[in-house]
Amino acid sequence: MAMNRCERLLGLFLRAVVRVCFAFFEFFVSKRKSDVQPRLPPITNPLLLVPAIQLAQRIRRKEVTSVEAVQAYIDRIQEVNPLINALVKDRFSAALQEAAQVDKLIEEERGGEDVLEDRLPLLGVPFTVKEAFSLQGMPNSTGLLSRRSVISGMDAPSVALLKRAGAIPLGVTNCSELCMWLESHNHLYGITRNPYNLERIAGGSSGGEGSIIGAGASVIGVGSDIGGSIRIPCFFNGIFGHKSTAGIVNNAGQYPPPTGQQPGFICTGPMCRYAEDLLPMLRIMAGPDAERLSLSVKVDLKRLRFFSVPHDGGSPLLSPVDPQLIQAQKKVVERLEADLGVKVQELRIPQLKYSFQIWGAMMSAPGKDGKSPTTFAELMGEGKRVWPVWELFKWMLGLSSHTIAAIGLALVEMFQSSQPSQFILQQKESLQRDLEELLGTDGVMLYPSHPQLAPKHHHPIFTPFNFSYTGIFNILGLPVTQCPLGLSMEGLPLGLQLVTGKLQDRLSLATALYLEKAFSGWRDPGSTANMEKTHPDCSKIQQ
């Protein structure tokens, strides 16, 4: 009881401090803002509203050419990217040449559409890639100024598999500096903006991918996730994303490479606007390991067990879950029970309260070889350690080449133990055991993606631990699908995570397909329908 009282008092104190910081920040920043914020133009080309799998089918059937599809996305990127700053380097000329080769291949193919579909399921479809991944001929800096001249000489395995399936890369997208922050911002490419509200963040670290796809300027993309770097941008930008079971998709070919125990936590996965593209993308990106997921097995949602966990139990380090997100999750429960005839059990899982502590301890733990992971300060200096306090002093003078978020992470790291405490290890093992037993081979858990709607730019500095809602599942190795659920009263995306047992990815993917039909999935951020105001009542969420 005494511990609980201390935690509550600590939570109240921390939240009071955050509110004061917010107030000061808003007071100074608001003076420099324009009263009128530009909005994205609506999508007018119908080709931009076709799922990737359907677009590939139309290209194979010669209903549309690959050149037309690629040009449509190039036009959309040129229209919106000056506003959102998501794509940082394009390869438009090469993409159009490759599209022309695709159209020629289709004209000359004598084996029929089925042969092309089997061999090249994404033939002629454009896609984008997070800049942290190697894409031949494209930069691979991960937002680090000292890597500005690094050009990839080959493709990352996941990128190569998509290209081998016939997809055509358009370019690379922005990420946070060294892929370890909630906002995609660095001193090389600048800051990426949310297509639904340019004052809001696009998330990180795959924020450029989330923004470009959410803006309707890409239909599918490649992201990576070690603490929520796929799911958080997908949530903030109103799209779908999937973190697969650990060890299924090859993570090679991205910078920085994981070290210590981190290779077991990082996941490469698909990001897309339409739920039907998730499974075929995962099948392609997983290569031969896709067989382990039994993705061809049909899922009967009525035979699944569903659980709803509305929050982490009240960690004093994290923000409370926004009431609109709680209400959205309740609506999902109501639809599941009404449409499928299932009973959704609401649960409280006490170990989730220690999600950040578990994530932080395991991320800094030595690997099986006894070697500690490369420190963030070493990554900032590309092997030559930078001194965080000195970098902070330089930043205050406007002389640092690093963002304040990166410097802050390096400072926190100085006080972090490399050996997890026995208590945290017990909480992790207990949570792992309980969740695997709970989910089994037929369970799906509903859980918030993040406690807040997409925050304003730079605000995550004041709430740095909120990513724990996603990060805990990297440590546990469980597959998770991020699913959009319409828009909030402010016009920002709502959503939740669908968590399943290991190797049961198909269950959350099938549930995402159902929820897309029930809640309309992705919304065009430029549509005037999304600008309509609703009554200030949390129960009246746009659907």
Residue 222 lies in a domain: yes
**H helices present in 239-322, as ranges:** 278-286
Q: Is residue 310 part of a domain?
A: yes
CATH number of the domain that 343 lies in? Answer: 3.90.1300.10
Q: Evaluate whether residue 9 is within a structural domain.
A: no
In a domain, 364, yes or no: yes
- CA proximity to 126, closest of 34, 52, 210: 52
Q: Which amino acid is residue 325, in one-letter code?
A: L
Q: Which two tokens stand for residue 482?
A: 């991020």
Under 8 Å between Cβ of 102 and 70:
no
What are the beta bridge partners of residue 223?
269
Helix, coil or strand: residue 273: coil
Q: What is the pLDDT of residues 60-102, one digit of tens each?
A: 999 999 999 999 999 999 999 999 999 999 999 999 999 999 9
CA distance 264 to 270: 18
Neighbours of 94 (CB within 10 A): 15
Closest CA to 84 of 450, 454, 484: 454
Nearest to 215 by CA among 95, 310, 311, 84: 84
Report how far residue 208's alpha carbon sits from residue 214's, in angstroms, rounded to the nearest whole number: 10
Cβ(486)–Cβ(476) below 8 Å: no
In one-letter notation, the amino acid at residue 136 is Q
pLDDT confidence of residue 33: 52
Residue 47 · residue 68 · CB < 8 Å:
yes
- pTM for the full model? 0.93
Burial (Cβ within 10 Å: 0-12, 13-18, ≥19) of residue 230: buried
* CA distances for 491 relative to 18, 33, 485, angstroms: 24, 20, 12
Question: How many alpha carbons fall within 13 Å on the CB side of residue 209?
Answer: 37
Structure tokens at 175: 């990420």
CB–CB of 197/152 below 8 Å?
no
What CA–CA distance (Å, rounded) separates 37 from 525?
Answer: 14
Residue 230 domain boundaries: 51-372+418-531
Q: Are strands 193-194 and 443-447 parallel, antiparallel or unpaired?
A: unpaired
Tell me the C-alpha distance between 139 and 528, whole Å: 36
What are the distances in angstroms from CA 359 to CA 207, 281, 425, 428, 525?
21, 28, 11, 9, 33
In a domain, 380, yes or no: no
Residue 542 lies in a domain: no
List, by residue number, the catalytic residues: 130, 205, 229
Tokens 């999935």, located at residue: 521
Is there a domain that residue 37 lies in? no
- What is the model's pLDDT at position 18? 45
CA proximity to 226, closest of 155, 189, 178: 178
Instruction: Look at the chain and report how many structural domains it folds into.
Output: 1
| pLDDT at residue 26, as a whole number | 53
Half-sphere exposure of 147 (CA within 13 A, CB side): 24
What are the DSSP calls for 24-46, one per residue?
A: HHHHHHHTTS-SS---PPPP--G
Position 296 in a domain: yes
- φ and ψ at residue 311, rounded to 5 degrees: -165, 175
Q: Which residues of the chain have pLDDT under 50?
A: 1-3, 7, 9-11, 13-25, 27-31, 34, 533-543
Rounded Cα distance between 105 and 128, Å, is 22
Averaged confidence pLDDT in the chain: 92
Number of other residues whose CB lies within 10 A of the CB of residue 455: 24
The pLDDT, as a whole number, for residue 536 is: 37
